[in-house]
Chains A and B, each alone.
Chain A
Amino acid sequence: MSMQIGIFTVGDVTMDPTNGTTPTEHERIKATVEIAKKADEIGLDVFATGEHHNPPFVPSSPTTTLAYIGAQTKNLILSTSTTLITTNDPVKIAEDYATLQHLVDGRMDLMLGRGNTAPVYPWFGKDMSKAIELTIENYQLLRRLWEEPVVNWEGKFRTPLQGYTSTPAPLDGVAPFVWHGSIRTPEVAELAAYHGDGYFANNIFWPKEHYIRLINFYRQRYEHYGHGTPEQAIVGLGGQFFMRKNSQDAINEFRPYFDNAPVYGHGPSMEDFTEQTPLTVGSPQQVLERTLSFADYFGDYQRQLFLVDHAGLPLKSVLEQLDLLGEILPTMRAEFEARRPAGVADAPTHATRVAAAQAANTTSLQEAQA
């Protein structure tokens, strides 16, 4: 699979500004499952959930939700946006996500992030001023837990491990693929490049120039660390849209949601914001064209995730958005494929990673025999 297209959710419980109703946490969690099932049904590749530990957000336990969705879907890759590498114990991340990997037969990966909600850090016994050091130390430990059968480890932020074996071991001996997500921090791009992992740029809140800088930096560092050419680096992007067959209908229907949205509401006009950021409000053709233009700015990339279920949009509207996305999906795939030069990496999956690991083993065996 050369390009993965999917959706990601923040999991916010937000009042619908058009009728004043707010879903319960139960309704929001169940709606999230419906949205993921719909994504599978229309042929999307990825569903990713955020992780939050404070209202108005519901997804505090991503692997529980993802396993439940995994049991009811066929092809969807289950992922996160993001898993908090700072406040979660890396030992528990290793266990939870390896268990998920077994349950869904490898149909998963994860995206690590730091989390920028200051009070969450002390709630989990951590210090936000140490966020970058926590990210680096925790991630290095996580990698070892997945790659080494027995780990002896000592660090600054958790109790040492002596003769520790993380269970279950990853499926087929291959760790889940890891993306690193960031909105503004170059250190995260550096970490992703160092390990040869994927780098995901939020691409929602700010103008593209900001993300172009971060992605170019990641691509350069990916090459620097010897993982391949800048074009072979694994890049993911966010995006958001609201579409209707008739673009004016999309504009009229989405405007109250935009004007009251938690992140950008009561600020710039929807017209200014759509011009200045990747948000597209219009016809399916406009969404298609805008999305394809991302590759012009950021280089050909491997994963496109859209935010579709936020700002209080009712479940019905979200499902309609996915139906419309399903209609343009074959063209989107074909166009991305057509413009893709040789030498650009395919999107990683469990199958391709198992094959790569086997090929590497065979090579080293042959070298040993020669």
Chain B
Amino acid sequence: MSTIAVISAGLGDPSTTRMLADAFATKVAEIDSSAEVGVFGLRDLAHDIVDATLTGFASPRLQTVIETVQQADGIIVVSPIYQASYSGLFKSFFDAFENDSLIGKPVLAAATGGTARHSLAIEYALKPMFSYLQTVLVPTGVFASPHDWGSTGERALDARIERAVRELLNLIDGTGTGRVADDTIDLFSETMLSISDPRH
């Protein structure tokens, strides 16, 4: 039985970031009914996170979440993209972790943004940070732009969520990511093209 911690740094209520986080949680449960999934919204911990950056220690409430994340078999992180990168609260949350405490942890990186132009922020912002933390990133990053919520077909958001979750669960099971080179699916652009291509 795997334990998966899903972190949502969405600030709105309701928030599309939280919707994406919940979609991941649902998908994990669909694929592996024995998995234990917890979704943690950073909005509820916002003051605790700022306090931790000032005092250098986590409140008991924040510490509980940090320990849950540290003990999870895999984590799914979902941040909104602000000013071309993850949100400050998202970064501050991970700043509150002890050095080296996430080494080797399988991580699925995902993000939401107000426009598809932010989609590569996963590649140039989130993934480098988790690479620095010496986590093991699954190949598929999932970015959801406003268009994606209505998308259908094999390149649609739901299909990308499923692919990424399967990669994560396979990685945790020790069977690699389940992906091979000829299984190439363009991560973002085909979906974006299908939306913007006037022939569709």
Q: Give me the interface of A with B, judged by CB distance under 8 Å.
A: 205-207, 210, 263-264, 266-268, 272-273, 276-277
Q: Which residue, A205, A207, A263, A266, has most C-beta atoms of chain B within 10 A?
A: A207
Q: Is A205's CB under 8 angstroms from B56's CB?
A: yes
Main secondary structure on chain B at its contact with chain A?
A: helix
Q: Is B57's CB under 8 angstroms from A272's CB?
A: no
Residues of B with C-beta under 8 A to A273: 55
Residues of B with C-beta under 8 A to A272: 51, 59
Complex Cα gap A268–B51 (Å): 5
Main secondary structure on chain A at its contact with chain B?
A: loop
> Nearest chain A CB to B62's CB is how many angstroms away?
11
Q: Is B54's CB under 8 angstroms from A266's CB?
A: yes
The answer to the question of B14 belonging to the interface, with a C-beta cut-off of 8 Å to chain A, is no
Size category of the B interface is: under 10
Q: Is B55's CB under 8 angstroms from A267's CB?
A: yes
- Name the CB-closest residue of B to A272: B59
- Name the CB-closest residue of A to B57: A206
Complex Cα gap A335–B129 (Å): 52
Complex Cα gap A265–B61 (Å): 20
Residues of A with C-beta under 8 A to B12: none
- Name the CB-closest residue of A to B60: A276
Complex Cα gap A273–B57 (Å): 11
21 A-B pairs (CB sep. < 8 Å): A205-B55, A205-B56, A205-B57, A206-B55, A206-B56, A206-B57, A207-B57, A210-B57, A263-B55, A264-B55, A267-B50, A267-B51, A267-B54, A267-B55, A268-B51, A268-B55, A268-B59, A272-B59, A276-B57, A276-B60, A277-B57
Residues of B with C-beta under 8 A to A263: 55
> Nearest chain B CB to A129's CB is how many angstroms away?
15
Residues of B with C-beta under 8 A to A268: 51, 54-55, 59
> Nearest chain B CB to A325's CB is how many angstroms away?
25
Complex Cα gap A207–B60 (Å): 10
> Nearest chain A CB to B55's CB is how many angstroms away?
5
Contact with A along B21-63 (1 / 0, CB 8 A): 0000000000000000000000000000011001111011000
